[in-house]
Amino acid sequence: MAPAPRGDEIRVRFATTGDKYEIRTDLHSSVLMQTCPPRSYGSFCPVAQASEVVAQRWVPLILREIMVGYHRFNEIRHALPLISPSVLSQRLKSLEDDGVIRRRRDPDGVTYHLTASGEELRPIVDALGHWARKWVTRDYRSYELDAGVLMWSLRRHVLPERFPRGRTVLHFQLEGEPRRRRYWWIVVQRGEEEDVDVCMTDPGHPVTLTVSTKLRTLVDVLMGDATLREVLRQGLVTVEGDRALARRFETLLQFDESHSFTGETRRDAAVAIGQMAAG
């Protein structure tokens, strides 16, 4: 009788099933646990190794938010309302350790930025979005239509330079949503510095424009399934308040199909993918 394998040994057995041969290994489970970290696939395959870095839950979305210009912890957290602060901290630390992002401290606090390694992921994240639009996206389920995600996504499309100087307050009323998620404010500050902020509670400033619509209507505009001009003309979005600003409301936000999911132009994204393929 053969002796039992030690904890660091692999025993190979040949077995026959009909006219086929099978190779079976007896590997003590403790060996796997001791040598393979929890997030590792235990493989030399480059796809497996890349997945250990960028395919962890939340990581592609965190990278996307940094790519589109959200560099502060709270900005990323607001854009991803379902992620817990502790998980976000862990993922940012992991991405920093893996050399994908760098942590920068400035007078206003800590910010996160892509390294050269992270920049090379930009066309990959963009390609994931296009792949999903082609093969995965179906009619949205109710839990996928989140007002917070919508408003923080909408913030990226505001063009501060097209607003009057000073403070402009846009009050959004999302018809049919629960009261605590129905009312949102976007505050645009234009002066020596430009700033766009999203508020869940009344910021206490006079409202310049009130925008009434359904959450799904704005999601369709964001996703390119409808244009802002179309929904305004159809009465699916109504704008009240400052008449001069209301008349040019369509020009205050940009939903340009020439831009990618990661903030760069489609052309630049295509060039980046081509360069990666050639390299």
Distance CA 50, CA 179 (A): 43
- For residue 29, is pLDDT > 80? no
pLDDT digits (tens, 9 = 90+) for 173-225: 999 999 999 999 999 999 888 999 999 999 999 999 999 999 999 999 998 88
Do the beta carbons of residue 14 and residue 23 sit within 8 Å? Answer: yes
- Please tell me the pTM assigned to this model: 0.75
CA 227/CA 216 separation, integer angstroms:
13
CB 276 within 8 A of CB 123: yes
**pLDDT tens readout for residues 61-119:** 999 999 999 999 999 999 999 999 999 999 999 999 999 999 999 888 999 999 999 99
For the chain, give the number of residues: 279
Domains of the chain: residue spans and CATH:
1-35 (no CATH), 52-119 (1.10.10.10), 145-252 (3.30.1050.10)
Supply the pLDDT for residue 261: 67
State the DSSP code for 160. Answer: G
Q: How far apart are CA 75 and CA 66, in angstroms?
A: 9
Query: What pLDDT score does 255 carry?
Result: 85
* Straight-line distance from the first to the last Cα atom of the chain, in angstroms, rounded to the nearest whole number: 55
Identity of the amino acid at 186: I
User: Which pLDDT belongs to residue 266?
Assistant: 46
How far is Cα 249 from Cα 241, in angstroms, rounded to an integer? 11
Supply the pLDDT for residue 217: 97
**pLDDT at position 239 over 80:** yes
